[in-house]
């Protein structure tokens, strides 16, 4: 949860070469994700991913008031990773980030690569890595799954903000103390991440009660085949 625009980098924060560099990082990462997500092979994956991207988009579109003057919305990196897996989740979120930049000018066009790297790629990858590391706990009980989802939501939000700190260290415009910047940015996002973690956990909890077979993280390879068939 965050003020609706805080995480989208605008133009001019990073210099041109860094912007281009992270554009290339995002494109390369997406190419790997598309191949590993087998999105071009299975004619069913892409349409389904389209609907789930619409779901993530709708969740980001609707703000709800947290405090007077502060509204928040889900960012969904860990949620996408847990529900859809790290590859398809990254593809869905990257489409969301690109369309937000083109349709709403949300995030700069030159910062698009950096924004995709932070939110669509780093967020889902780190969120999934955390969830995968604790998958044993997630499979054991409902409380375990909720704890893992909370942790993944928290860590993925912090990871996305840490991505910004790294980008600023490479191509930022002023010589501010990086330690101070990292402290502020990561500190703020740790608080935001608690909200993200709570929502992620409760959402996963609601889904696991009805259709546990749809949750990528806890699906076994057999049920995954079954669902794909």
Decide if residue 183 touches other proteins (CB under 8 A).
no
Q: What part of residues 62-91 is at the interface with other proteins (CB under 8 A)?
A: 62, 64, 66-67, 74, 79, 83, 91
- Give the residue, chosen from 211, 221, 222, 229, that forms a contact with other proteins under the rule CB under 8 A: 211
Q: For other proteins, which is the closer residue by CB, 39 or 131?
A: 39
Tell me the residue length of the chain: 229
Nearer to other proteins, 84 or 158 (CB): 84
Give the residue, chosen from 28, 141, 143, 173, that forms a contact with other proteins under the rule CB under 8 A: 173
Q: Which of 129, 132, 147, 207 binds other proteins (CB under 8 A)?
A: 207
User: How near is the Cβ of 122 to other proteins at its closest, in Å?
Assistant: 19
Binding other proteins (rule: CB under 8 A), the pick from 166, 186, 198, 212 is: 198
Give the range of 125-133, 136-144, 206-214, 218-226 binding other proteins by CB under 8 A.
Answer: 206-214
Which are the contacts of 73, defined by CB distance < 8 A and separation ≥ 6?
1, 2, 4, 59, 60, 61, 62, 63, 64
Question: In angstroms, rounded to a whole number, what is the distance separating the alpha carbons of residues 22 and 171?
Answer: 10
174 vs 162: CA distance, rounded Å: 18
Residue in 25, 36, 71, 98 binding other proteins, rule: CB under 8 A: 98
Take residue 118 and report the two structure tokens written for it: 């932070």
For residue 124, what are the contacts with CB-CB under 8 A and spacing of at least 6?
77, 78, 80, 81, 86, 89, 90, 93, 156
- Which residues within the stretch 118-137 sit at the binding site for other proteins (CB under 8 A)? none
> Closest approach of Cβ 207 to other proteins, in Å?
5
Q: Which is nearer to other proteins, 53 or 81 (CB)?
A: 53
CB of 137 to other proteins, least distance (A): 20
Q: Six-digit token pair at 8?
A: 């989208």
Across the strands, what pairs with 67? 70
Burial bucket for residue 165 (CB in 10 Å: 0-12, 13-18, 19+)? buried
* Out of 126, 204, 217, 218, the residue judged to bind other proteins by CB under 8 A: 204
- Give, as ranges, the residues between 5 and 64 that touch other proteins (CB under 8 A): 5-6, 9-13, 15-16, 19-20, 30, 34, 39-40, 43-55, 57-59, 61-62, 64
Give the burial string for 65-77 (b: 16+ CB within 10 Å, else e).
eeeeeeebbbbbb
User: Measured from the CB of residue 55, what is the shortest distance to other proteins in angstroms?
Assistant: 4
CA distance 76 to 149: 11
């Amino acid at each position: 949860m965050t003020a609706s625009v805080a995480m989208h980098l605008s133009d001019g924060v990073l210099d041109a070469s860094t912007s281009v560099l992270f554009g290339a990082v995002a494109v390369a990462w997406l190419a790997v994700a598309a191949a590993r997500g087998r999105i071009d092979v299975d004619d069913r994956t892409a349409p389904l991913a389209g609907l789930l991207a619409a779901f993530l988009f709708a969740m980001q579109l609707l703000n709800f008031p947290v405090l007077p003057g502060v509204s928040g919305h889900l960012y969904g990196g860990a949620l996408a990773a847990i529900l859809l897996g790290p590859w398809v989740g990254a593809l869905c979120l990257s489409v969301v980030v690109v369309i937000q930049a083109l349709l709403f000018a949300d995030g700069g066009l030159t910062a698009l690569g950096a924004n995709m790297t932070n939110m669509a790629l780093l967020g889902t990858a780190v969120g999934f890595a955390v969830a995968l590391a604790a998958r044993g706990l997630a499979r054991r009980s409902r409380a375990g799954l909720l704890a893992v989802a909370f942790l993944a939501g928290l860590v993925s939000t912090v990871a996305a903000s840490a991505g910004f700190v790294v980008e600023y260290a490479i191509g930022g415009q002023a010589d501010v103390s990086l330690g101070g910047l990292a402290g502020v940015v990561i500190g703020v996002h740790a608080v935001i991440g608690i909200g993200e973690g709570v929502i992620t956990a409760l959402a996963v909890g609601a889904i696991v009660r009805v259709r546990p077979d749809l949750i990528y993280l806890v699906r076994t390879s057999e049920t995954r085949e079954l669902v794909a068939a």
